[in-house]
Amino acid sequence: MLNINFLKRLIALSMFIMLIQILIGLKVREFIDINIDFYGFENKSLWLSDPELNFFIHRSFSIFILISNALLFFIARKLQITTKWITIILVLIFIEIIAGASMYYFSFPLLSQPLHLLIAVLIFGSQFFWFLSVED
């Protein structure tokens, strides 16, 4: 059951899941933009004072992404494939979760939003590169 083809399918699935997470994150960002207009830029602590369901899904889905990519790490190790790219992906996911949590708990510190988006793109790009580099 565990073979390279199975791993590639799981990597593709993790890329799809990451795209869903990014799209949900865009909806959260739209909600925040509306609240910025309503509360003003100086009231950052109020931007997520009454979050929509999308926020909770986005936050909880990050745990699923972390677990699914950790599973990919263990499968790659079991198949004796280099774990360089999945290790990079996991580190980026940890940084991404910290950046996301800092926005919520510390009222959007300077550069946390663009950093959060940049890391999401780096995760997806790393997943895609890893997918292409795993040979059948």
- Residues in the chain where the model's pLDDT stays below 50: none
pLDDT of residue 100: 94
Global pTM exceeds 0.75 = yes
Give the relative orientation of helices 84-105 and 112-133 as an angle to the nearest 10 degrees. Answer: 160
pLDDT of residue 125: 97
pLDDT of residue 48: 86
